Amino acid sequence: MKSTDKCSWQPMKLQKVDKNMNHDHYSDDYIQGILENTKTIALVGASNKPERASFRVLNYLLEGYTVYPINPGQAGTEIAGAKVYASLTDLPEPVDMVDVFRNSEAAAGVIDEVIALPTLPKAIWLQLGVRNDEAAARAEDKGIKVVMDRCPKIEIPRLASVTAS
């Protein structure tokens, strides 16, 4: 999907989320469901440095999603052809998923920013090595699905190979 493509956005209805979610293991169906229902992604902690994982993941996600990089220090510039925004509140439209490239402690603040948005995303995705169970519980209380310590750049091709077999 090109960054100029628009999806037909529908307001999210509060979903019932399992408050006893096991964040040590996610079923393939759970992750596949999130990825299939995602068209727009805010990538918090985006970097313009090619050696950074957030740069590589951003480029990968741009192949199939509309992605809005978030980085206050880079706001107004472009990364991989996508306009960078200072914060989630600056985005031109609501997003389906927020992908977080911040450490576990900082992720709590990002999740609090997400749950304060007027329109909530369907999912929050914390990257490899990032986990904050208390913040995840706050998001789940608002009906937002949470994935922690995973990378969509790994999960998308893995799930494609599982589906193909």
pLDDT at 42 over 90: yes
What the block records as the tokens of 53 is 């994982």
Cα separation of 30 and 135, whole Å?
19
**pLDDT tens digits, 134-164:** 999 999 999 999 999 999 999 999 999 877 7
pLDDT at 94: 98
**pLDDT tens digits, 105-141:** 999 999 999 999 999 999 999 999 999 999 999 999 9
* Pairing relationship of beta strands 82-83 and 78-79 according to DSSP bridges: antiparallel
- Helix (H) or strand (E) segment spanning residue 164: helix 152-164
What secondary structure does DSSP assign to 67-84, as a single string? EEEE-GGGTTSEETTEE-
Q: Beta partners for 98?
A: 42, 124
Find out whether 72 and 87 touch, Cβ atoms under 8 Å: yes
User: How many other C-beta atoms lie within 10 A of the C-beta of residue 149?
Assistant: 14
**pLDDT tens digits, 1-25:** 333 333 333 444 444 445 566 788 8
The pTM assigned to this predicted structure is 0.86
Q: Which domains does the chain have, with CATH numbers?
A: 28-164 (3.40.50.720)
pLDDT at 158: 94
What the block records as the tokens of 111 is 């999740």
pLDDT at 18: 52
Cα separation of 157 and 20, whole Å?
28
The whole-chain average pLDDT of the chain stands at 89
pLDDT at 6: 36
Q: In whole angstroms, how large is the CA radius of gyration of the chain? A: 15
pLDDT at 11: 41
pLDDT at 31 over 50: yes
